Amino acid sequence: MEKIKQIVYAGDSTVTFNKVDTYPQAGLSQGLLLYTKDEVFMRSFAVNGRSTKSFLDEGRLGFVSEVLAKDDLFLIQFGHNDEKKEDPTRFTEPFGDYQKNLKSMIDLARERGAHPVLITPITRRYFDEQGSFLPGHHGAYPKAMKELAAREQVPCIDLTQLTGAYVEHLGDMPSRALYVYPKDNTHLTHYGATVFAGMLAKELCALGEPYASFFLDEI
């Protein structure tokens, strides 16, 4: 019998494990389960609207601390709400408190013997009037996360780049199916969560062990 494995996922509304009351919205934590082995248990601590600052200020890392254990996979994905300069309860400077807050999550993982992975935020689906994709709407946050990951020597998956390239490849009309369009161009449908989580699963497997052992052999 295989030993139970646990993925602990911290993030915002693009990660949240949604229920029927928010249908058709779906998050990466539920999409990722489609790619995991049967013995993998998902603990999603992602909450709508949270930044690294509000996540910590509300004591949510304490909830993570209660369950995070040795050899767990700890996925950390923030950025959408850290960008909101108009909201002092959520805004962080990318090369300031954003990095500091992410490091506190990495530190917790190391204390528990878990495996932290930083994940840059998924792209927003923005096109101009000519149908050209508009990248770069997460500003310096992906770069700041990647810089921190290199400094701390932890894996970082650039989901901003991967999802952006895919949305640009699809184009305006086809990419609408990935998002809760026309309501918004940020949150994912079940289809979108499945597609983007598949990208994430492939990148995690490409890291080798122990990350690949959480996922199906053929993705």
Among 4, 72, 11, 70, CA closest to 196: 11
Whether the pLDDT of residue 1 is over 80: the answer is no
120: Cα separation from own chain's centroid: 6
Q: Which two tokens stand for residue 157?
A: 């998956």
Distances (CA, A) of 120 to 4, 6, 128, 144: 27, 21, 23, 9
* 155-197 pLDDT per residue, tens: 999 999 999 999 999 999 999 999 999 999 999 999 999 999 9
Among 178, 196, 22, CA closest to 119: 196
Question: Residue 46: which pLDDT band, with cuts at 50, 70 and 90?
Answer: very high
Query: Looking at the domain assignment, is residue 219 inside a domain?
Result: no
Domain that holds residue 210: 5-214
Q: Determine the average pLDDT of the residues in 2-28.
A: 95
- Structure confidence at residue 219 (pLDDT): 82
Number of domains in the chain: 1
Give dist(CA 174, CA 169) in Å, integer.
Answer: 9
Query: Looking at the domain assignment, is residue 46 inside a domain?
Result: yes
Domain CATH code at residue 48: 3.40.50.1110
Q: Which two tokens stand for residue 214?
A: 């959480």
* 91-113 pLDDT per residue, tens: 999 999 999 999 999 999 999 99
- Structure confidence at residue 90 (pLDDT): 98
* 104-161 pLDDT per residue, tens: 999 999 999 999 999 999 999 999 999 999 998 899 999 999 999 999 999 999 999 9
